[in-house]
Every structure is written in C-alpha cells, then in structure tokens.
Amino acid sequence: MIDYIKSSDLYLEVLDKAEQKGYSLNLFSYSESSKKKLDKYGFQKVNFKERKIEIGIDKLVEHDKGAYFHELLHAKLFLEDYPQILRYPKIDLDGTIDYYLSEIGNISQHALIYPIMSELECNHSELDDRYLKQVLENTNLTYKGLGKFFRALELLEGSLRNKNKIEEFKDEILKKQPEEYKLFEKIEKIILAINDPLTMRNAIIKLIDVLEQYLKLSSEKDFFLKYLTRVPLISNNIILEDKADNFFYIEYFNEFADIFIMSKIDNHCCGFIDGSRTSKSDIQKMLNNYTVKQLKERLNI
C-alpha cells in the first residue's frame, strides 16, 4: 500500500511542498502492541529542529488508503501555514490539558480534511462506523465537569465524520445529555466557520477559551492558557507592512520570567520571548518602531 500511496497525486503534492520548505517526508507503517482505540489509527508529527515530517499508520489499518490520505492532509495543512497550537516550553502542562489541546488542534483541521477526502472519493468508513458506534453508546454515560467538554468534542468529531448519524440520534442525546449537546452545537458553529488559516486560528482560540472555562469549573483555578499556548498570527501583505504595535502588546510575569507577545485582536499569545536574553523595554521599542513583518522576522513569531 505504501508504494501505491507514494505514487498518488496527493503524496507527490505534499512531498513537493515539504521539499520547498526544507522538510523531509517519511511515510511508514508500525505495529502497536497495546489494544488500539479505533479513532487513533495513525499520526502525523513535525520535528521542527530536524526539519522532518513523519507519518505513521498502524499495521491494523495499513490496507486503508483513507488512513494514509487523512494524515497526508494534516501534513499538507501544516505546509500551507495553517496554525498549530504551540506550548510554552518552560512549563509542563497537565497531561489532561495537553490531550485537550491536541484534540482542539486535530478537530480544527478535520473541519477541512473530511470534506477534502469526500472530494477525493476517499474515506475510512470502516473506522468511522466503529467510532460512531462508540460515540452513540456513550449517550448512556453521565459526564461531569471537564467530561462535558470531552463529550461535546466527541459529538463534534462524530458529526464531522457523519453528520446524518448524529442528527438521527439528536433527540435521544438531548434528552440524556442536554448540556453536552448544546455545547456541541456551540463549538460546531465555531468549527464550521473554518475555511482558511485565519478562520482556523480564530476557531482554535475560541475553543481554547471554552476549554479554560470548563477547567475553571472543575478546579476553580486559572490555567493561563491564553499565555501558555501560542497560536502564531496569520497575516496578509497589508498587515505585514502595518505597524507592529497596532497588532501586538506585551505581558510579563515574574513567575515565568519571560515576555509574552499578545495579539490585540483576541488577547491570545503569539510568541514566547526568553526574558534572560531580551528585556521588556527592548521588545517594546521593537513594537513601537517595527512593522509586523520586521517583528515576525526578528522574533520568529
């Protein structure tokens, strides 16, 4: 199957985009010893330091062309500068939080990936059917706190895979899980607005805000996700030539000892700056005197 995939137009397109940006592309299958959850059949991982993209497909589904195309499309979106959720490197986020951030990034891309797969007349219907079966079985479960956000994301993923199936069971889900279903409808509107890198960035930040709200309800404390996650600013040629201080401001916290470049548009972090190497006043001077393009190039944000 790998030889077939490597001869496909999609693979050749992604390979060309990768090479143009100085990335290698490695496609392989692997064996998973532990029992698999059938919504996780592969991965796409970017190693920024070594400039390589890895796509792995579990041998359980290596016969499925859709599994390869799915991960290739994730790689394609990365190479087309669709936004990633990057973590503040000096603090290890709780594993649960990291999981939800990964899910937000993943499902935001799925809003584009599933329609493209339909256009390519390529899907992974067997995997989707199994996933949807589990989603519908979970209608009988009771969720609390952050679990309600999990359930809403699960319903959203199910709807992106097969909207009619979720609609078919709408009344039953609403009856048993009204808050979860209403939250699903709210975040579905956010996700379905995605059609380019800018709208994806907007959706990601809105979903991170919803995650923060449910984290506060569960733990009664602030997790500062708008600072500890950065989503780079999406800018066009007009914005790039505008003054940096029209779009950015800085925040500084003694407990972090670093400088956070924040977006004036949505108050979310766009860049982490090492406070031991650059002073707050130096960054402020850059904001006052640089264009957006100059600032992005100087600070790599």
Q: List C-alpha distances in Å: 16 to 32, 44, 113, 299.
A: 30, 17, 19, 28
- Do 288 and 281 contact (CB within 8 A), yes or no? no
pLDDT at 40: 66
Q: Are residues 178 and 272 in the same domain?
A: no
pLDDT at residue 218, rounded to an integer: 85
**pLDDT of 39 strictly over 80:** no
> Alpha helix locations (H) across the chain?
2-6, 9-20, 65-79, 95-119, 125-137, 146-161, 163-168, 170-176, 178-192, 197-219, 225-228, 237-240, 280-289, 292-299
Yes or no: say if 252 and 275 are a contact pair by the CB < 8 Å rule: yes
In a shared domain, residues 189 and 264: no
Domain hosting residue 241, numbered range = 232-299
194 and 77 together in one domain: no
The answer to whether residues 87 and 164 belong to one domain is yes
44 and 176 assigned to the same domain: no
| pLDDT tens-digit series, residues 154-168 | 999 999 999 999 999
Residue 176 region by backbone torsions, left for phi larger than 0, else alpha for psi between -120 and 50, else beta: alpha
**Mean per-residue pLDDT over the chain, rounded:** 92
- Whether residue 217 sits in one domain with residue 141: yes
Predicted pLDDT at 275: 86
Asked which of 33, 65, 81 is the last residue of a domain, the reply is 81
> Is 288 found in the same domain as 182?
no
Total domains present in the chain:
3
Reported as a pLDDT band with limits 50, 70 and 90, residue 189 is: very high
C-beta neighbour count of 79 within 10 angstroms: 21
For residues 56 and 10, state if they share a domain: yes
Query: Is 211 found in the same domain as 119?
Result: yes
Tell whether 102 and 68 lie within a shared domain.
Answer: no
Q: What is the pLDDT of residue 234?
A: 87
Question: Residue 259's CB: how many other CB atoms inside 10 A?
Answer: 23
pLDDT mean over 107-125? 91
Of 109, 165, 111, 110, whose CA–CA distance to 135 is shortest? Answer: 165
User: Tens digits of per-residue pLDDT, 78-90?
Assistant: 999 999 999 998 8
94 plus 20 within the same structural domain = no
Co-location of 133 and 70 in the same domain: no
Residue 220 in this model has a pLDDT that exceeds 90:
no
